[in-house]
Amino acid sequence: MTWDACGDADRAEIPLLGVLIIMAFDKSSLPDQDADLDDVLQPGTCLSNNQYRIESYLRAGGFGITYLARNSFNRDVVVKECFVPSFCTRSHTAVRPRSEASKSQMQKAIRAFLNEAQILSQLQHPNILRIRHSFQENDTAYMALEYIRGHDLLDMIEDKVTLSPHQIVLLTQKLVSALAHVHDRNLLHCDISPDNICIRADGEPVLIDFGSARKMADGIGERNSGFSMVKDGYSPPELYEANATVTPGSDIYSLGASLYHAITGHAPLDSQSRLAAVSDGRPDPVPSLAATVTGYPRGFLAAIDKALALRQADRHASAQDWQRALAEPAVETATRNVALLRRVVVKPQSAVIPAPKPAPTALRADGTPRVQFRYPPSQARVQTA
């Protein structure tokens, strides 16, 4: 197999909504995200019988390290390696537990990592990250994922990239559709937030990072595990509870919170503080979008407000229900010149009495003509006694 050098032309920065960006998988490679060099696979390292060659380190975080790599077809892919620095270390390319006590944690992390790969393999939707391959090597696990050029929604919000109401509406429609696809396969994401929503260079949103995903039966997900993710502002109240029952409504809340952030420019207050305020008889500290924001289609903002309900029973029953609530005309993006006209009501004219027609001429006894007039029935005279 021959590897070609990676050219710069296919990695050119692409302008998206006025910002020059380049992204791979779930985060941009930023200067302040350096990893310990001893923990990172070096460029040129080959994996899976030379199917993938590491090109560069992208970032570390969560349950793994991500790399930009080239596959055997000389195409860019992202390789994600299961590596948790708190209880993993590296010996050459192999991953080892830091101590005997870390062994069970490391095995649990690998199982969760492979579970994420299995979940991704079941999802085929244009707005969900696609997995190419998963495998075990170096005493840990790996995923080969599609390479996405774009930026995550959180960075766009923090960089003050303005999204128009029309763009927000399209974004919402596609993400709710992706969420319905996930739930239709009896899966829950359990970690939806702006940093897990990637916007491609062409503006298409992609839901990523299924590391906290879980299966569900009868609409209820597995109980919280040690690898559950809670994010203030985006996680619903039930995710803060030990052994909480999570449902599709939990994902609906998180997506609603992410959209709220995109619309207002700030994340909603965490659900625990909201609960405390409501319990004390105070107003909900997260104001209604429908009551405070304008410029969106009828019912659109109210649907997000409903997704953000504190009680699961008050949210959309399903992503499909949310989709139905979005079936409204698109917001107008151009100003129309409207001329107001006074309505003129034309009253019906009174019936015109036609000129009487002479009846056939008859002659009197003296020879003079006798003339008779006939009137329309409506104008006939009424004789009274």
Domain assignment present for 360: no
CATH code, domain with 208? 1.10.510.10
Lowest mean pLDDT among 248-252, 298-302, 319-323, 366-370: 366-370
Q: Which of 2-6, 254-258, 357-361 has the highest mean pLDDT?
A: 254-258
Which residues have CB under 8 Å from 116's CB, separation 6+? 143, 210, 211, 213
| Chain-centre distance for alpha carbon 385 | 86
- The residue that leads in pLDDT, 201 or 234, is 234
Closest CA to 24 of 156, 209, 149: 149
pTM metric for this prediction: 0.73
Q: CA-CA distance, 333 to 287, in Å (whole number)? A: 25
Structure-token pair, residue 204? 């298409």
Task: Supply φ then ψ for residue 246, to 5 degrees.
Answer: -105, 145
Q: Is 13 exposed, middle or buried (0-12, 13-18, 19+ CB in 10 A)?
A: exposed
Of 184-188, 199-203, 204-208, 221-225, the poorest mean pLDDT is in 221-225
Domain boundary among 310, 325, 340: 325
Q: Please check whether residue 6 lies inside any domain of the structure.
A: no
Both 295 and 230 in a single domain?
A: yes
Q: Which domain does 254 fall in, by range?
A: 151-325
- pLDDT for the residue numbered 365: 58
pLDDT band for 103, please (50, 70, 90 cuts): very high
Least Cα distance to 34 among 57, 67, 55, 54 occurs for 57
Same domain, 96 and 181: no
CA 69 to chain CA centroid, nearest Å: 28
- 115 plus 188 within the same structural domain: no
Domains in the chain, number: 2
22 pLDDT above the threshold of 50 = no
Cα distance between residue 24 and residue 40, in whole Å: 17
pLDDT in tens, 255-308: 999 999 999 999 999 999 999 999 999 999 999 999 999 999 999 999 999 999
Flag whether 216 is in a domain.
yes
Among 3-7, 8-12, 122-126, 217-221, the range of highest mean pLDDT: 122-126
Residue 259 counted as domain residue? yes
Q: Do the Cβ atoms of 242 and 224 come closer than 8 Å? A: yes
207-216, 228-237, 330-339: the lowest-pLDDT one: 330-339
Same domain for 280 and 221 = yes
Q: What is the pLDDT of residues 141-154, one digit of tens each?
A: 999 999 988 899 99
Residue 4 lies in a domain: no
Summarize the confidence of residues 104-122 as an average pLDDT.
90
To which H or E segment does residue 260 belong?
helix 248-264
